[in-house]
Chain A
Amino acid sequence: MKYKLKTALIAAALLSAPIGQEAARAQPITFDIDPVHSGIVFFINHLGFSNVIGVAKEFSGEFTFDKDAPDASKLQAKVKVSSISTNNAQRDGDIQGADWFNAAEFPEITFVGTKFTKSGDKQGSITGDLTIAGVTKPVTLDVTFNGQGKNPWDGSLEAGFSATTKLKRSDFGMTANIPLIGDEVTLRIETEGRGRT
């Protein structure tokens, strides 16, 4: 009986070893944004009747994150302007022009996080520099930490966040058709990052 108990304790200790190692590691991990399981969506008012939905189809980025020390996180991401779609080919072409995103001169939108603040168990905010059409403005994202853990399919380390913010397109020089087309843009971001091994 004693032998069986001893064996069970050793087995339990061995099984728990990876968890213990991970806890002991407790260092920031760099994650690459996984575009397959991430998304960027925006909403913009049309004549007060509806909120047109736009998506960014091509984006990339990375973030460094330690759930025990989120204040020390890092984040940088970029969006390919030509991939922005509002589900209408003509409009999608129009918004690439000089009045809007000006893709010819500024083919990328970038965001670089500068301040990471934890405000609750799963809540926090990221303030950073958002650059659209060559204009850089500080923007604060309200962030929810969805979780971190092993991907059961391939064992990779994953971390996921949801973020929202509102910004004014006029702050970035896009003043066309205000107020017929809303100045305020609601942005929603779903991000899953894959930890680098």
Chain B
Amino acid sequence: MLATAVCGLALFGVTALMRWWRVDRRWYDPLIPLGFFLSYWLTYNRLPSFPPVGAVNKVFYIAIVGSVLGLAAEWAGSRALSLLLLVAMPLASAAYIGEKIVLAQPFDLVVAALVGAALLYALYREAQFPDEGSNVRSAVMLAVASAGFAPIAFMGASSSSLQLSLGLAVGIGGVVFWHLLGPNYRFGWGSLIGGAGGMIAVAQTVALITRKIDLFALAVLSLVFLVPSICRGVLDRLEEKNRPVATLVFAGLCLVPAIAAVAVMLARSGFSLPL
């Protein structure tokens, strides 16, 4: 829990300084990847070996490559390259993480890649809305999904994923806090391919390698990414009246499927901690 708090405080502090210095919104894009790497480092107490050994190490390098390519695409302004990355990264991460099971479970790898791409697209789509709060909403979605994923991963035999996910979720919370009132935030391709892509790689690891996670609970959790589509009308009306409240309501709506997913997981498997 200390590591989670450190992630939150670190990104809270950095974002506060950036707001104080009035930096361009594009510079906020690397914050979510930074939060992911900080959380990873605090979770595993080390940087992974290179070349990576095993899926847990691979996750780190997938996030590194995703962040570099994503930030490059962001600064280059190449939409075609960015969309290519959106499709290619989840596919590449599923193939890389699951390389040893590709022959035994090819269908699982394909599903993991497609779901990953669909989730990235949902985040991308929300960030494309022209209102000032759209990028913050993508960050909120990722934070809530990460927070919801944490206990599901924990009960799916991955306590490390619990810590990593919570660290990222709280870190994003520290960033979003400073953009509630007057958003000047950019959830760009670095955040999407590096940060969200890294989290998708974590989920792929737990689902494909550890294989004890409740897939039905994960399916319920993925409804977080449909909240903007389902609640668009309500959100638009709130956005016109009070933007901070609209963002908080949006976060609350995202929490509904996240809490439901955890409840489903607990109802199906109970709560037992043999370790």
Contact = CB atoms under 8 A, between A and B. Distances in A.
A95 B210 CA distance: 9
A180 to B, nearest CB: 8
Nearest to B104: A104
A51 interface: no
Interface stretch (B53-61, B85-93, B120-128, B170-178): B53-61
A98 interface: yes
Main SS of chain A's interface residues? loop
Interface stretch (B16-24, B156-164, B214-222): B156-164
A102 B160 contact: no
Interface string B28-65: 00000000000000001110110001111100000000
A11 B45 CA distance: 72
Contacts of B274: 88, 90-91, 94
20 contacts: A88-B274, A90-B274, A93-B212, A95-B157, A97-B156, A97-B206, A97-B212, A98-B54, A98-B158, A98-B206, A99-B157, A104-B101, A104-B208, A104-B211, A105-B100, A134-B54, A173-B54, A173-B56, A176-B159, A177-B159
B209 A98 contact: yes
A78 to B, nearest CB: 17
- Give the size category of A's interface with B: 20 to 34
A81 B54 CA distance: 15
Contacts of B159: 99, 176-177
B171 to A, nearest CB: 20
A175 B275 contact: no
A97 B158 contact: yes
A108 to B, nearest CB: 13
Contact of A105 (B44, B55, B206, B212): B55
Given A97-B206, A99-B161, 20 more contacts: A90-B274, A91-B274, A94-B157, A96-B157, A96-B210, A97-B210, A98-B205, A99-B56, A104-B208, A104-B209, A104-B210, A106-B54, A134-B53, A134-B54, A135-B53, A173-B48, A173-B53, A173-B54, A175-B45, A176-B160
B78 interface: no
Interface of B: 44-46, 48-49, 53-57, 100-101, 156-161, 205-206, 208-212, 272, 274-275
Nearest to B158: A99
Contacts of B205: 98
B209 A97 contact: yes
Contact of B210 (A98, A134, A173): A98
Contacts of B48: 173
B52 to A, nearest CB: 9
B53 A104 contact: no
B248 to A, nearest CB: 34
A181 interface: yes
Nearest to A89: B274
Most central of A90, A97, A104 by chain B CB within 10 Å: A97
B56 A98 contact: yes
Given A104-B209, A175-B44, A97 B157 contact: yes
A88 B158 CA distance: 17
Contacts of B160: 99, 175-176
A40 interface: no
Contact of A98 (B45, B55, B272, B275): B55
Nearest to A104: B209
A173 B47 CA distance: 10
Given A97-B210, A177-B159, A102 B275 contact: no
Interface in A67-120: 88, 90-91, 93-99, 102, 104-106
